[in-house]
Amino acid sequence: MSELDLNDKVSEMLAKSEANVIKSEKTFIHPEDEVREVVAPDGSIIKINPIYDYFSGERPQEEKPRGGIVEKFLNWARSESIWVLGFGTGCGSIEIPPLVTPRFDMFRFGIQMRPTPRQSNAFIISGYLSVKTLKRVIRTYEQMPAPKYVIALGSCTINGGMYYDSYSTINRLDKYIPVDVYIAGCMPRPEALIAGFVKLKELIKEGKAEKANEYARNFDEYKANQKKIIKDWSMPDYNW
Partner 1 sequence: MNIYVKLAYTFLGLMIVLNWGMLMGATMRKIGARVAGRHGIPFKQPWIDLFKNIGVRTTITHGIMYYIGPVFRLTGGVGLFLFMPAVFSGSPYGIWTNFSFEGDLILILYFQVFGMLGMALGAGEGGHPYAAMGIARGLAQHAAVELPLTLAFLSIAIQYDTFSVYKIVEAQQGGFQNWVLFTNPFAAAAVILAMLGALGHSPFNLVKAPNEILIGPATEYEGSYLGFMQSAGAIIHVMEAMLFMNLVFGGATNWFELILKTFLIYFWSVFVGIVFPRFKIEQSVTWFFKVPLLLGVLAILMYSF
Q: Does 218 contact partner 1 by CB under 8 A?
A: no
Quick one: 47 or 83, whose CB is closer to partner 1? Answer: 83
Cα-Cα-Cα-Cα dihedral sign, residues 203, 100, 112, 185: positive
Neighbouring residues of 44: CB distance < 8 A, sequence distance ≥ 6:
3, 4, 7
Which residue lies nearer to partner 1 by CB, 70 or 162?
Answer: 70
Q: Which stretch binds partner 1 (CB under 8 A): 18-26, 34-42, 55-63, 223-231?
A: 55-63
What mask of x and - would describe binding to partner 1 in positions 83 to 112, judged by CB under 8 A? Answer: ------------------xx--x-xx-x-x
Closest CA to 143 of 208, 87, 89: 87
Q: How far is the CB of 74 from partner 1 (least distance, A)?
A: 4
Contact between 111 and 203 under an 8 Å Cβ cutoff? The reply is: no
DSSP per residue, 89-135: -SGGGGGSGGGGSTTT-GGGGTEEEESSGGG--EEEEES--BHHHHH
Query: Half-sphere exposure (CA, 13 Å, Cβ side) for 206?
Result: 9
Q: State the binding string over 141-180 for partner 1 (x if CB under 8 A, else -).
A: ----xxx---------------------------------
Taking the complex as a whole, how short is the minimal distance between the CB of residue 19 and partner 1, in angstroms?
21
Binding footprint of partner 1 on the chain (CB under 8 A) = 54, 56, 60, 63, 73-74, 77-78, 80-81, 101-102, 105, 107-108, 110, 112-116, 118-119, 121, 145-147, 212, 240
